[in-house]
Structure 1
Amino acid sequence: MKVLVPCLLAFALVWIGCKSDQVDPASPPFLILKDVSIEEGSEPFILNVEATLTEASGEAVTLQYETEAGKALAGEDFVAVAPTTVTIPAGVTAVNLPIEILGDTLRETDEDFLVRISGVSGARTAGTEFTVTLRNDDTFVPGEDEPGIGYLSPMTYPDYDLVWEDAFKGSTLNTDDWNYELGDGCPNLCGWGNNELQYYTDRPENIRLEGGKLIIEARQEFLSGSNYTSARITTQGKQSFRFGRVDIRAKLPEGQGIWPALWMLGESITTVGWPDCGEIDIMELVGHEPSTVHGTIHYDDAGDYKYFGLGTTLDDGSFQDEYHVFSITWDAERIRWYVNNEQFHEANIQSTTMGEFRSPFFLIFNVAVGGNWPGFPDATTQFPQQMVVDYVRVFEAK
């Protein structure tokens, strides 16, 4: 258990510096704040961040500081600091702002959080916040020594910059990035346009975060006129992307009538509809073929609906056995599909009738039950079925 030790903070909150000549009170010194970058470590420790004056003051300087979560989360990566007042005594040039870093042993991307300064008295401020970056120094991945760990994609690529990711840390889905889509599609799109049987919910029975993973669970149960429940989330209106690379690490469900998908729709769907908005299926699997995934585009071609797709099959095992990374790279000319960074499909999108693929798209994750393509569950289908997503990362070309 990670415990904040009061005595550590008591000793950490000390002033440092040296005596100096008093300065003109009409021209108080500046308070200097600098960004901090440290290794996260594997055990809790106190980080003493220094707030410094440009010169000592003849009077005491007081200020408040508090933390604000970013990619680094309070309670998981550091202990939150509520507004706390500290004093730089007269004649002293700096004070320590203690923050407890929790540390861990998990391999992850670098993370950061903010420290905000307010209520400064006796000094001028050149800024009101600074960033603390926790650099990953770990190599452990959960399940690494167990069957089923699977493939891990690189955190960086020479030709791309990471622009957005979700590693599903914390206890609830980040609704600044994600929307829940609810119901059975009725009245406008009953069965979600594919004769699907599930009713989508935002209940923890159907969608939750556990151990740094997103779990979407399809269940056989009666709710609101449907015999099955599941979940579907989107980044529509919150996170959209045009060109670049998308990596999604996941383990997939299987069974007759089960239909997991990691896909994208054009943001223009609200104005032009489908298929004019375009659709990019990064990964689809029909549960009676648990060793095969498909990559497809759907689009409007001068008034005619068209699609172009291809599948790839594992040499042995199924996509439920371990994690795989499903990816696309996308530019103005081509979309390419990959499993574990091995390309299996490519679409040329240079045609003037395929302009929808040169506009922003948003992400969709869901597990459907039944439908025109997978067919319906039968006596062989076992419930519940889970799609487990470890992370999604979006990169743009440099």
Structure 2
Amino acid sequence: MKTLPKILLAVAVVVGVPVLVLVKGKQPEPFEPGSESAYRLQMGQLPVAQLETEFVDPSRPTATNGDYAGSGERRLKATVWFPGDREFAPYPLLVYSHGFSSSRREAAYLNEHLASLGYVVVAADYPLTNMRAPGGPQVKDVVNQPADVSFLIDSLLALASADGNSLQGQIDPERIGALGLSLGGLTTTLAAFHPELRDPRIQAALSIAGPTFVFTPAFYRHHSLPFLMLAGDIDALVPYAANAAPVPEQVPGGELVTIHKASHTGFAGPAGIMRWLDNPDVVGCWIVERSAGEAMEEPWFDLIGPPDMGIDYSAEADLCTLDPLPEAMNTLRQQMITRVVVRSFFERQFSRSESSREAADRYLRQGLATELGDVIYTPPAT
């Protein structure tokens, strides 16, 4: 594993490159012109609007964390991306959950894309796992985030039902999905399947490189819904073999899309600039190990639930043990693939058009891997 001084040296070299080259250089290979992948990568026709707000849940506390004394409420600074045209409203609602020591802006590239296609997408800074959490990011607070997801759904539906705001009439309460990256993927999985924490309003869930190593097959038997895992096969933070690969066998109906040579960090929007590094997980591992190293070594899986619920107390995260790190794909291409996969998954679930749903299904199952040689689709086990 590369040391921090080497990381800083690499960053210093990048910073020293002329700005134009830094921003415009090392562009990924485009999708084949005229292909379905190229079509699905295009922004939708709807203009995108944004709402910056803060939601406060007075019914649940924020725990003490280091030198932070805690609070009697949970405050969630949020961004809502939504179509600026009401012609096709109401739209499906998607709740995006960010990764550990990250922020709600982490996947702006993806959420803007979805909004242009006709989705309302909300992402919030979770109180104790965001990068600026008081007392420092605390991984264990993930157990409180499924309730945050439910609170965000409540809050968005309330806005859509109230008079005189930009979201009035914009959300279809019968079409709600969830997605997230890394710890946000774990949040999404808990909100979708946990027998006590799940939100039954969630009709489809997608995890981007989210941890699953702590779950046994029994965990997924509590509830059934469409579920897809999107992951890279050289992920250093959430190892592929223990987390993504088992999904088609363990999750009833679970699907897996694997991106060859995709890193963990590369799924996050800010990693676009890291395409100049051999592997952006060198930065991701440094950030996570600095913030969560000791916490990951302490047993805490009992906070998720008992073993008979499908929680494996003996599971080990194997965080950042891959050494040396293999060369990763261009992060911009990784994010291109992410856009078309996420778009197609939710389109298959939520489009009002049967032909669009069928086309999205064909693309995920056949066209995706046929057109993109660095992608593998694995169907659910029969």
Same fold, judged at TM 0.5 (above): no
Q: Which of the two has greater helix per residue?
A: 2
TM bucket normalised to smaller: under 0.3
If the length of structure 1 is used for normalisation, what is the TM-score? 0.23
Q: Which of the two has greater strand per residue?
A: 1
**Structure with max Cα Rg:** 1
If the length of structure 2 is used for normalisation, what is the TM-score? 0.23
